[in-house]
Chains A and B, each alone.
Chain A
Amino acid sequence: MCGAFDFLRGFLLIMLFLTAGKLISSYLPITFPGSIIGLILLFIALSSHVVKAEWILMSGNFILKYMALLFIPIGVGLLNYLELIFSHWLVIVFSLFFTTLFIMLLVGHFFQYLNRNEEV
């Protein structure tokens, strides 16, 4: 019973922050996703202890645990782009692997170097 209440309270809070983010986003002169604004608002609320971390811990962890699952329908949506993908496949594959792995390696080493005092 207590668990269900906890879960619901967390979920409603998360939706509240998302809605606030979307509302602000609709008034901005530039296009900027409401979800990121919601994230920043929730972060501010947590840091200033307006919202206690325990309130959203349960539903938050539940969503994070299954976050990967949420990408699947969009991924299946690639079906619509098959032609586009096939006609550009070489440069697509190269851009994906080269850029992704290159950024990872460059940024990883850069951060590791800047962060080196930590290790000693």
Chain B
Amino acid sequence: MFLYIALPLTLTVFFTSKRLYAYKTWPFFNPVLLSILSLILIHLLLGLDYAEYEKGTFLLTSLLEPAVVVLALPLYLQLHLIKAKLNIILAACLLSVLTAFICAFYIMPLLGADLVTAASFAPQSVTTPIAMEISKSLQGIISLTAAMVIFAGIIGASIGLGFLQLFGVKDKQAQGIAIGCASHALGTAKVLEVDKVAGAFSSIALIICAVLSALLMPLLYALLF
């Protein structure tokens, strides 16, 4: 029974959250976060089965991969802007990947993270399918990585733009790059809603970071640990 209600329930919760967000713009009213928390709460309160929910919302999840492919569109439409800046975009993405690696393997252990936990954190800023592959090759916990990726995305989508504005990153293109690097497709989805140009920069950053991470992180890990 729940199987058939899962999709309409998700849509209802999402569009209600969106309306709430439009009504009162407080960053944590972010529709995705609010929907996820509400649905988790509904599951816990009613003792519902996630496996059934997962089956019922299969349609949405199966659109994730086509959605990644569609990112080629904003990229192409803003190509004239990106082309001239490919070098500095690459430099920014390289900085991002190295920072993520250093944070995970050199800063988190100071707080008591062991090597396995650190390895699960390292790809947290990368889009889910790639992050899970990286986690696997670093011997991390894949499910923990999946959770981290979503949270990192939500942080970027909910407070990213406001945070950057507050701390002096006013350049729209730089905002796009920063959110694409730190908060992958979830952050990019939000940036695309606000500004098309920033969205294109966010898309390219998410793609380049994903590719660089997939290539560099396993290599660095093999060399250093």
Contacts and interface: CB of A to CB of B under 8 A. Distances in A.
A97 B63 CA distance: 28
B76 A47 contact: yes
A104 B111 contact: no
Contact of A108 (B107, B154, B174): B174
A70 to B, nearest CB: 5
A4 interface: no
A64 B73 contact: yes
Given A35-B129, A84-B141, A97-B155, A108 B39 contact: no
Nearest to B137: A31
B113 A95 contact: yes
Interface residues of B, number: 103
Contacts of B14: 69, 72
Contacts of B125: 99-100, 103
Contact of A84 (B75, B147, B181): B147
B65 A91 contact: no
A84 B143 contact: yes
B20 interface: no
B103 interface: yes
A74 B189 CA distance: 15
B50 to A, nearest CB: 5
A71 to B, nearest CB: 6
Interface of B: 10-11, 13-14, 31-32, 35-36, 39-40, 43-44, 50, 53-54, 57, 60-61, 63-77, 79, 85, 88-89, 91-93, 95-96, 99-100, 103-104, 107-108, 111-113, 117, 121, 124-125, 127-130, 133, 136-137, 141, 143-144, 146-148, 150-157, 160, 163-164, 167-171, 173-175, 177-179, 181-183, 185-186, 189-190, 192-193, 207, 210-211, 214
